[in-house]
Amino acid sequence: MALKVIIAITVLSLSIFVAYQLVDRFDPDTVKGKNVIITGSSTGIGEQLAYQYARLGANILITARRERQLKQVVEKCKEIGRKNGKYHFISLDMLDEGAPLKLINHAEKTLGSIDYVILNHALPYHLGEWLGSDDNFTALEKTFMANFNSYVRIASHTTRLLEESRGSLIVMSSTAGKMPMPYIAPYSASKHALQVIYLLKWVDWKRFYLLLHNSCYLS
């Protein structure tokens, strides 16, 4: 009898917990008028994030390498966003060591303050066996520059601004950083390094960052 009571209480508790987690407590008004930076925004997840934030009334600065696509994304944001909203872009290559600082300087110039920084860019890695060749090492260096170094630099440059606005830093990662996969060793390594440095609350970011693995987040 006692065992049945324990099981019933456990099931009830789990049901309440799951139900609580499924409740949508998001208030769209918390985003309206906020200043948002989104990297890797010319296509894919970054592009769709730009549209969603525009619909919610945010001011947006997007960046990627391809200027033509960025212009198209900004034009659509203007169509679906607030009429008096701010919608800007800057074409940058995150393989350039100076790109992160250029991005933040441009954000301060066009948006003023910064409330949300969403780091979504990534250098794709072509499948291949690790042979220790010159090509392997070149790919490794480029992958870490884009997928790790630039993330740390952008976060470092925005720390003060996000603390002032009590904003949020959102980092897009990959399950490849948690479960290494064959033939993409440099990519998996860069994502694992990214997850480690954020999970260690580097420079005490514990108040305002999310680390996303596809649809999951850790805070």
Gap between the terminal Cα atoms of the chain: 40
In this prediction, residue 30 carries a pLDDT of 79
In this prediction, residue 13 carries a pLDDT of 60
In this prediction, residue 182 carries a pLDDT of 82
Encoded tokens for 208: 């305002």
In this prediction, residue 208 carries a pLDDT of 46
Query: Which of the residues are catalytic?
Result: 187
66 and 41 Cβ atoms separated by less than 8 Å? no
In a domain, 5, yes or no: no
In this prediction, residue 215 carries a pLDDT of 34
In a domain, 15, yes or no: no
Count of structural domains within the chain: 1
Closest to 185 measured CA to CA, from 219, 134, 144, 216: 144
The model's pTM:
0.81
Block mean pLDDT (10 aa), the chain, length 219: 59 58 65 94 94 96 96 96 95 96 96 93 85 90 94 90 88 81 86 78 50 39
In a domain, 8, yes or no: no
- Tell me the residue range of the domain where 143 lies: 28-218
In this prediction, residue 10 carries a pLDDT of 65
Q: Could you give the C-alpha distances from 164 to 6, 39, 107, 114, 210, in angstroms and in order?
A: 48, 21, 15, 9, 18
In a domain, 16, yes or no: no
Q: What is the 3-state secondary structure (H, E, C) of the chain?
A: CHHHHHHHHHHHHHHHHHHHHHCCCCCHHHCCCCEEEEECCCCHHHHHHHHHHHHCCCEEEEEECCHHHHHHHHHHHHHHCCCCCCEEEEECCCCCCCHHHHHHHHHHHHCCCCCEEEECCCCCCCCCCCCCCHHHHHHHHHHHHHHHHHHHHHHHHHHHHHHHHCCEEEEECCHHHCCCCCCCHHHHHHHHHHHHHHHCCHHHCCCCEEEEECCEEEC
Burial class for 36, CB neighbours closer than 10 Å (0-12, 13-18, 19+) = buried
In a domain, 19, yes or no: no
Give the domain CATH number at 40.
Answer: 3.40.50.720
In a domain, 6, yes or no: no
In a domain, 140, yes or no: yes
In a domain, 14, yes or no: no
Q: How many CB atoms lie within 10 A of CB 163?
A: 13
